[in-house]
A and B are shown apart, each in its own frame.
Chain A
Amino acid sequence: DTAVSQTPKYLVTQMGNDKSIKCEQNLGHDTMYWYKQDSKKFLKIMFSYNNKELIINETVPNRFSPKSPDKAHLNLHINSLELGDSAVYFCASSQGRGNEQFFGPGTRLTVL
């Protein structure tokens, strides 16, 4: 019954490693997003895909690469992890652009 799901919930890793976060939505939406929430709880858009096409890329370092194999999935791969990448990453989805977005439970990434 989960609408937007993410795995893993927690991710602890060393600097320099490469890691991926997976997101799936079963709402039938055509647009998916990745947000980053920093330690002050500020939420900022990173990427958006509409029908598997990248439509938002908010000046995110190219170490971050989203991949959308189909409309229901949007994964986030991060290369050469840095300390500053530590944050909570949220996936979200909506039907169309500019409409109500539904968020996943988040992935807390800690880089040591």
Chain B
Amino acid sequence: GQQLNQSPQSMFIQEGEDVSMNCTSSSIFNTWLWYKQDPGEGPVLLIALYKAGELTSNGRLTAQFGITRKDSFLNISASIPSDVGIYFCAGSHGSSNTGKLIFGQGTTLQVKP
């Protein structure tokens, strides 16, 4: 089946540093989504991308939809301790399909104060 390769698997950084993570796919997606999951909670949507090349920001977070439609990245600037969690990318083929989301394996972020 389809797979998304998300990297890195984990990151341990100092507070204030910038973070970058990415996802690549073997096939094209129409939608890329980025989620964050805190321990014991459900994934929370951070950013949604709908067009190839689109660059979208949400506070200190910036995500881009790759022009090949097979990749996406998420940047977090000036990290703070509450950024700790697992970040997931997810791809969808859009409304022409069933709406099924394919998830990456997740990037676990730890921030040292």
- The residues of A with any CB-CB pair to B shorter than 8 Å are 4, 31, 33, 40-45, 48, 50, 55-56, 58, 90, 92, 94, 96-106
Contact = CB atoms under 8 A, between A and B. Distances in A.
Interface in B73-99: 86, 88, 90, 92-99
B42 A106 contact: yes
Interface in B51-82: none
B96 A98 contact: yes
Contacts of A103: 35, 42-44
B7 interface: no
Contacts, number: 71
Given A41-B106, A97-B95, A98-B92, A48 B100 contact: yes
A45 B100 CA distance: 7
B111 interface: no
23 contacts: A33-B99, A41-B105, A41-B106, A42-B103, A42-B105, A48-B99, A48-B100, A55-B98, A55-B99, A56-B98, A56-B100, A94-B99, A97-B97, A98-B30, A98-B98, A98-B99, A101-B45, A102-B45, A103-B42, A103-B44, A104-B42, A105-B42, A106-B42
A48 B101 CA distance: 11
Contacts of A43: 43, 88, 90, 103
Contact of A99 (B44, B98, B99): B99
A72 B48 CA distance: 23
A63 to B, nearest CB: 21
Contacts of B44: 103
Interface residues of B, number: 28
Nearest to B99: A97
Nearest to B41: A105
A10 B31 CA distance: 32
A90 B42 contact: yes
Nearest to B106: A41
Nearest to B103: A43
Contacts of A41: 37, 86, 105-106
Contacts of B41: 105-106
